[in-house]
Structure 1
Amino acid sequence: MKSLVLMPPLRYTSESAAALGVLYSLYEYGSEIHYVMTEKVYDNYFTTFPEKIVKPFLKSKEEKIKLIRGPLYSPFLDLIRIKNYTKKNHIDRVFNMYYVEYPIGMDVSYVVYPHSIIGYFKDFKLTYSRVKYPYLYTSRLLTKRIARSKNLLCSSNYIKNLMKNIGFDCDVVYPPVIPPENYETREKQNIVVGIGKFIPSKHWEEFIEIAKKVRQKNPTIKFKIIGGLNMIMYPSNEYYEKLVKLAGNDVELLTDVNEEEKWRALSSAKIILHCMREDNFGLGVAEAMYAGAVPIVYKSSGTWEDTIQEGKYGIGYKTIEEAKEEIIKIIEDEKTYKEYSEKAKQRATKFVIDEFKSKIIGIMDRFN
Structure 2
Amino acid sequence: MTTPQPAPSFDARPLTDPVDARAVSAFTAELRARGSSGFSASSVLAVVIFGLVFLVALTFVGATMFSLLTGSGGSSSVAGIGILAAAAVAISIGVVSWRRARVARYRLDAFARANGMSYEARVSDPRLPGMLFGLGRSREATDLVRGTVPRFVEFANYRYTTGSGKNSTTHHWGYVAVKLDVPLPNIVLDAKGNNGFGSNLPASFQREQILSLEGDFDRYFTLYCPEGYERDALYLFTPDIMARFIDNAAELDVEIVDDWLFLYTQRKASTLDPATWGWLFGAVGAVITKLDQWERWRDERLLQENPTTAASARGDAPSSSADPRLPFAPPAGMLSPPPGVAHEGRRLKRSFSWLPIVFVIGFVVFWIWSRSF
TM-score (normalised: structure 1): 0.27
TM-score (norm 2): 0.27
Q: Is the radius of gyration larger for structure 1 or structure 2?
A: 2
